Chains A and B, each alone.
Chain A
Amino acid sequence: MTPGSDPETVLVVDDEEPVRKTFREWLEGAGLGCRVVTAADAEAALVIANRQPIDLAILDWNLGAGSDGLQLLEDLTVFHPDVVAIMITGFADQATPLKAMRMGIRDYLDKNQDLDRTTFLHAVRRQLEKIRPARRERRLHRELLAFREAVEKVLPLVQAAAALSDPVPLPAAVRSLFRFVLRTTGARDGVLLARSYDAEREPAEVCRAWDTEGRRLDVALVPFARSVAGSVIGMQEPSTMEHLDRAAAAGAMDLQPFERGRRSLLAVPLSVAPGVQAVLEVFDKQGPGGEPGPFTEADRRLGAAAADIGTELLRHELAERQTQRVLFDAVGAALGASEAVAASIQPADSRPWVPANPEDPPPAAVMDRLRQGLAAADAATDAGESLRLAEAVRVLALRHGSRAVAHCTRLVEEVRRLLDDTAGTGEAPP
C-alpha cells in the first residue's frame, strides 16, 4: 500500500467456507496491506461490488448452483471495469484462456496441483504489483481532471478581466498551477521561469520569473544558457536535483538567486511556443512528517502531468497577451494620428490630466488638435510607434487606474467617429 492512499480491496469468492477462511488468513497474515472481503456466491459478491470498489477478485471457477467464476467476473466488470482476477480452478484445462484474458483473468491456480500458501500469495503479490501503479495513475488522472475543471472555471474570469486595467493576468494561472504542484509533491516553494528569444529584438533574450503567488520576481537572472532551467529544457523532461549549491560548484551552470541554498529541486519544462520556454521549479520537498527529502520518481511523473496543464495555461496566457497587444496597437494607431494630442492632454506646466468623470467628452481643444493632426497624419503608422504608444496606454493604466483607461477608450471612440465622418463611412457606433 502506498502511504496515505487507500488499500486495495481483494474479493474472495468461494462456495466452501473453509477455503474462504484459509484464503483470508493467508492474505491477512502476509502483510500485503490490502483489505479482504469474502463472499460465498455470485449474488453476495455482486452486492459487495455494488457497495465498494474491487481491485482484485479471487474467484472459484465452480461456484456451485450452476454459476461459474467467469460469469461472475463478467458481472463484476459492470461495476468495476478495471478489476483483475485470479481464477481458482480444479480443471484449468477446461478454461477458455482467450476469453478469460479478455475478461480480466490474469492468473490461474489449480486446486489439484499447485495451490498452497506460497503459490497463492505469489500470484496475489504479482497482481497487486501491477494493480498499484495503475490505481495511482487513475487517481492522478482523477485529480488532474478535478484540477482542470477548477482551472476552466478560473479562466473565464481571467478572460473577462479588462485587459488594459489588468495588464498581467498571469497570477491566477500561475497560482492554480503552483497550488496543485506544491500540494501534491510536498514542495515548500516554487518559481516559474519564462524565457523568450527573438533574434530581431534587442535584447534578444528576455527572462522573467514569478513566485507561487504569481508575483513577478524583481531579481537579476543568470543567462538561460547557464541556468538550471536551460538544462531542464535540454533534458526535455521533468528532472530532479539535490543540493543545488554543490551541483553548481562543479561548473557548467549558475544558480538563480532563488535557487541558492535549496536542498532539493523538481524542474518541469513547459513547451509554450516556438522561441518561448518556461520551466516550473519547485523546491525543498517535505515528507508527511515535515522531514526534508528528495523529490521522487512519482513526483517527477506528476510533474510531467502538470506540465501538460501548465503548457496549456501559458499558451492561453500568451494568446491573451497577443490579444492585448492587438488592442494596444489599435489604440496606438488611432492616437498616433497626431503627436500633438499628447501635448494637449499634458500641458507643460501642469500635472498629467485625468478627467474628473470618464463619461465626459474630451476637451474641445483636444478634439480640434486631433482633427488637425488627422488631416496631416499618414494613416499608416509604423509598428514601432504603435508599440510605443501602446506602452504609454499601459503605463497610463498602471499609474492612473481604470478611470484614465476608460477615458482613453472614449477618446478612441471619438477618433473612430471622426474617421468615419472624414471617410464618409459613417456607421453608427455600437
Chain B
Amino acid sequence: VSDTPPAPAPRDVFDELLALLTPERLLRDPRATGEGVTVCVLDSGVERALLEEKYRRQGVALHSIEGAIFTDAPEPLPYAGRQSTPHGTTVADIILTLAPRVRLFSADVFGPRGSCEVEVVVRALRWAVDVWKCKVVNLSLGVPEQRLQQVQRRLALQRAVEDAYYKDVLVFAAAHNEHPLTRSYPAAFAPPLLSVDKHLFADPLQFAYRLRDQVEFQAHGRGYLGPFAQEPATSWAAPHLAGIAARILSLRPELKPFEMKTILYWMYREAVH
C-alpha cells in the first residue's frame, strides 16, 4: 500500500470554464451593484423615507422606490411610501444592502387590512412581471401547505410563478421556517423559482446549494433593520439570495432563471472545493 495520494483526475473543459465562476469575479466586481436591475419586493410595503435616510447617511443614493398596494379590488391602490407592517421594509433593506443600485418596487399585498389572500399575491406577481417589468421578484411571504389545501388556488399560484419563469423573471421564495417539517407555497414549486432556506453565514454574500425536500438554496438568515431582523428567518434569507442575484444581473441583465441557478450552483461548488 502506497502512502502517495492518487494523482488528481485531469480537469476537463467544464472544470476549467466553471473555475472562472468565483464570488470574487461575479459578486465583488465593482459593477455588481444591482444597477439596471428591477426588483419587486412582494411583501407588506416599504417605508421609503426610512430607507432613503439610512442609505443617504451611508452616502448611497437609491433609485426612487415605487410601488402599489394590492387589495381585493382589480386595480391596485397608489403607494404612498408607507409600510403596512415592518416586514417588507426589513426585506427591502436586505436587498438594498447587497445591491443598493437596484430599482425597487414595493408590491404591498397586506395593505391596511393587514392580511392577504393567495389571489392578491397572484395579482401582484403578475403586475410586477407585466406592468413593472421586474427582473427579480422576492417573495418572503409564504402560505403553509395546510392553509392552501384548495387545489385550484394552489394551481393559480403555480401558474403565475411558471408564467414569470417563461418571461425570464427570477422569483425568490422563502421556505417555511420549519422546513422541511412544513411545506410552504410557492417555495415548494421549486423548479421554476429559486427556493431559499435559512442558514447563518459569516458573510452575507455567502450562500449554499443544499437540495432538501424541494428547497434548493440556503442564504444568510439575518436582517439588519426592523423587528425580528436579528432572528434567523427564511424571510431574510430569500432577499439575501435575491440581492446576490441582482449583483450578478447587473453584470449580465438577460440571464434566465435556469442560468442563474446554474451560476449560483457552480459558484457555490467552486467555493466549496
Nearest B residue (CB) for A277: B114
CA distance A275 to B142 in the complex (A): 19
Considering the complex, which residues of chain B in the window 37-85 have a beta carbon less than 8 Å from any beta carbon of chain A? 43-45, 47, 50, 54, 82-85
Partner of A252, one of B89, B110, B177, B235: B89
Instruction: Give CA–CA (A252, B87) in the complex, Å.
Output: 9
Within the complex, which residue of A237, A248, A271 is in contact with B177, where a contact is CB–CB below 8 Å? A237
The answer to whether B86 touches A252, judged by C-beta atoms less than 8 angstroms apart, is yes
Residue of A nearest to B114 (CB): A277
Q: Mark B218-232, 1 if CB is under 8 A from A, else 0.
A: 000000111111110
Q: Would you call B225 and A252 a contact (CB within 8 A)? A: yes
List chain B residues, Cβ under 8 A from A234: 43-44, 84-88, 110, 141
A62 to chain B, nearest CB (A): 38
A309 interface residue, CB < 8 Å from B? no
- Of the candidate stretches A11-19, A141-149, A225-233, the one touching chain B is A225-233
CA distance A205 to B225 in the complex (A): 25
Evaluate contact between A230 and B85: CB separation under 8 angstroms. yes
Residues from chain B with a CB closer than 8 A to the CB of A271 are: 115
The size of the chain A interface, using a CB distance under 8 A, is 33
Interface positions of A from 146 to 196, Cβ below 8 Å from B: 195
Q: Are B231 and A230 in contact (CB under 8 A)?
A: no
Q: How near does chain A come to B199, taking the closest CB pair, in angstroms?
A: 15
Tell me the minimal C-beta distance from A205 to chain B in angstroms: 7
> Which A197-245 residues sit within 8 Å CB-CB of chain B?
197, 199, 204-205, 224-228, 230-237, 239-242
- Quick check: is B112 within 8 A (CB to CB) of the other chain? yes
Residues B50 and A251 in contact, CB atoms below 8 Å apart: yes
Q: CB within 8 A of B228: which of A197, A199, A204, A231?
A: A231
Say if the beta carbon of B138 comes within 8 Å of chain A.
no
- CB <8 Å contact, B113 and A231: no
Interface assignment of A274: CB less than 8 Å from any CB of chain B: yes
Interface of A is mostly: mixed
Contact residues in B for A233 (Cβ distance below 8 Å): 85, 110, 114-115
With contacts A225-B85, A226-B86, A252-B83 taken as known, whether A231 is within 8 angstroms of B114 at the C-beta atoms is: no
Q: B residues within 8 A CB of A230?
A: 44, 84-86, 114
What residue of chain B has the Cβ atom nearest to residue A247's Cβ? B227
B90 within 8 A of A: yes
List which A247-264 residues lie within 8 A (CB) of chain B: 247-248, 250-253
Q: Which of B47, B114, B178 has the largest count of A CB atoms less than 10 A from its CB?
A: B114
A251 nearest in chain B by CB position: B50
A234-B44, A241-B228 given; A199·B85 CB < 8 A: no
Other-chain contact of B50, A224, A232, A252 (Cβ < 8 Å):
A252
Task: Say whether B84 contacts A225, CB under 8 Å.
Answer: yes
Q: Does B244 contact A (CB under 8 A)?
A: no
Complex CA–CA separation, A197 to B50 (angstroms): 25
Cα-based distance from A146 to B137 in the complex (angstroms): 45
Q: Are B141 and A197 in contact (CB under 8 A)?
A: no
Residues from chain B with a CB closer than 8 A to the CB of A250 are 224-226, 229
The chain A residue with its CB closest to the CB of B93 is A252
Minimum CB–CB distance from B222 to chain A (whole Å) comes to 12
Q: Is the CB of B112 within 8 A of A253?
A: no
Would B113 and A197 count as touching, CB distance under 8 A?
yes
* A residues near B83, Cβ cutoff 8 Å: 225-226, 252
Bound-complex Cα distance A335 to B54 (A): 59
How far is it, in angstroms, between the C-alpha of A197 and the C-alpha of B112 when the chains are bound? 7
Contact A248 B227 (CB under 8 A): yes
Q: Is the CB of B115 within 8 A of A231?
A: no
Q: How far is the CA of A251 from the CA of B48 in the complex (A)?
A: 12
From A225, A237, A252, A271, residue with most partner B Cβ within 10 Å? A252
| B190 contacts chain A at the CB level, 8 A cutoff | no
Say yes or no: A224-B114 contact (C-beta < 8 A), given A230-B84, A234-B88.
yes
Residues of the A chain whose Cβ atoms lie less than 8 Å from the Cβ of B233: 235, 239
Shortest Cβ gap from A196 to chain B (Å): 9
Measured CA separation A224–B47 after assembly (Å): 14
Q: Min CB distance, A226 to chain B, in Å?
A: 7
- Please name all residues of chain B whose beta carbon is closer than 8 Å to the beta carbon of A275 when the two chains form the complex: 113-115
Asked whether B50 lies within 8 Å of A239 as measured between CB atoms, the reply is no
Taking each of A227, A231, A247, A274, which has the highest tally of chain B beta carbons within 10 Å of its own beta carbon? A231
CB <8 Å contact, B85 and A247:
no
- The 8 Å CB contact of A253, one of B54, B84, B227, B235, is B227
Inter-subunit contact A241/B230 (CB<8 Å): yes
Which of B43, B110, B115, B142 has the most C-beta atoms of chain A within 10 angstroms of its own C-beta? B115
Residue among A228, A234, A237, A301 with the highest chain B CB neighbour number at 10 A: A234
Closest to A272 in B: B115
* Min CB–CB distance A68 → chain B (angstroms): 35
Query: B115 touching A274 by the CB < 8 A rule?
Result: yes
Q: Which of A197, A224, A237, A252 lies in contact with B226, CB distance below 8 A?
A: A252
Given A224-B114, A226-B86, verify A231-B227 contact (CB < 8 Å).
Answer: yes
Q: Is the CB of A277 within 8 A of B226?
A: no
A227-B85, A234-B84, A252-B50 given; 11 more Cβ-contact pairs under 8 Å: A199-B112, A205-B112, A228-B227, A230-B86, A234-B85, A234-B86, A236-B141, A250-B224, A250-B226, A251-B50, A275-B113
Selected A-B contacts with CB under 8 Å, 21 pairs: A197-B112, A199-B112, A225-B86, A228-B227, A231-B87, A232-B228, A233-B110, A234-B44, A234-B86, A234-B87, A236-B141, A241-B230, A242-B230, A247-B226, A250-B226, A251-B226, A252-B89, A252-B93, A252-B226, A274-B115, A275-B115
Complex A-B, nearest 10 residue pairs according to Cβ-Cβ distance, in ascending order:
A234-B87, A230-B85, A252-B226, A234-B85, A234-B44, A231-B86, A231-B227, A252-B86, A253-B86, A252-B89
